[in-house]
Amino acid sequence: MENDHEKITTCVVCKKAQGYFFVRKNGFDLYRCGACGHISPSPFLKHDSSFSYDEDYFSGAKTASGYIDYDRDKEPMRPVFVRYMKVIESLCSGKGRLLDVGAATGFFVEIAKKIGWKACGVEISEYATEIAQKKGLDVVCGTLGSGNTLEEGSFRVITLWDVLEHFQDPHREIHLCSKLLMSDGILAISTPDSGSWYARSTGKRWPLLLPPEHLHYFTQKSIKIFLENNDFQIEKITKIGKTFTLEYTLLIASGLRNFGFLRKIVTFLKKYPRVGSFAIPINLRDNMVVIARRT
Ligand SMILES: [Zn+2]
């Protein structure tokens, strides 16, 4: 085990042999590339990296990852998603079909539909898909490659909100997105920025280091190389901040330094849902929104 930490890995993004051991967390070894900054799991150890997106993930929040109540936790994000869409629309010649990958309970699909897009989604969790379908949304259960009937070359926009970091093989998924997009289609990604000031200053304690839920941690440099190698050209990288509920913010903070008392406050707030759902805008600038065009 210790010897593995001495080993140097080849970066899955820039292919340079400059990956050095960075941190062991939740039993996973993460390596950071000295050339592009990309952080990814050790290729030396075979981890069981199957992560379960079941009901607990969307409504249990027993750990610092996952959600208390997905739709309620996401509610403050509504204006943020509308801002994302304004940026996307400024790069499109019109509206059309939009696919949301990792659509969860259809929160974003519903927003896109409301502003005139023909929006649908794919979602790996049966539990979340069922909720989306009950809302009357076109969300199918599965992954991009799981034999669904999505038509190639038919989407003007594909969105991956907080999804790319979860994939075991991001190259494969982006390749599938590329096939589904129209020839000049837009890919919109939000993902943690491991090269951001906050990520670098918190280092091994960066709250978004969450293997095996998060497996790939891009930097602005590594995502540019990654997308260009997959026939996309970057149109824009922005740092639109997120907005969370008070309850969710405390939950994340309690995981950051094992502050048990914050978790107690979360439990306490459950009795006062109106206080707990109070919206807090947060911009630690450690998330990036990347918009790219298929070339
Ligand atoms: Zn690299």
Residue 1 vs residue 42, higher pLDDT: 42
pTM for the model stands at 0.84
pLDDT given at position 6 = 82
Q: Which domains does the chain have, with CATH numbers?
A: 1-48 (no CATH), 51-294 (3.40.50.150)
Q: CA 66, 106, 65 angle in degrees (round to 5)?
A: 5
Instruction: Write out pLDDT tens, residues 146-165.
Output: 867 889 999 999 999 999 99
Distance, CA 33 to ligand 1 centroid (Å)?
5
pLDDT greater than 80 at residue 26:
yes
Residue 90 vs residue 239, higher pLDDT: 90
DSSP per-residue codes, 156-189: EEEEEET-GGG-S-HHHHHHHHHHHEEEEEEEEE
Tokens coding 23: 């941190």
pLDDT band for position 250 (50/70/90)? low
Distance CA 60, CA 85 (A): 29
Distance, CA 9 to ligand 1 centroid (Å)?
10
Residue 252: CB partners within 8 Å, gap ≥ 6? 64, 207, 244
Distance CA 23, CA 210 (A): 11
Distance, CA 228 to ligand 1 centroid (Å)?
14
Distance, CA 171 to ligand 1 centroid (Å)?
14
Instruction: Write out pLDDT tens, residues 42-81.
Output: 876 555 555 677 777 777 655 555 676 777 777 778 888 9
pLDDT given at position 76 = 72
Distance CA 100, CA 117 (A): 11
**Environment of ion ligand 1 (residues, CB < 5 A):** 11, 13-14, 33, 35-36, 38
Residue 18 vs residue 55, higher pLDDT: 18
pLDDT given at position 77 = 80
* Bridge pairing between strands 287-294 and 181-192: antiparallel
- Whats the size of the chain, residue-wise? 295
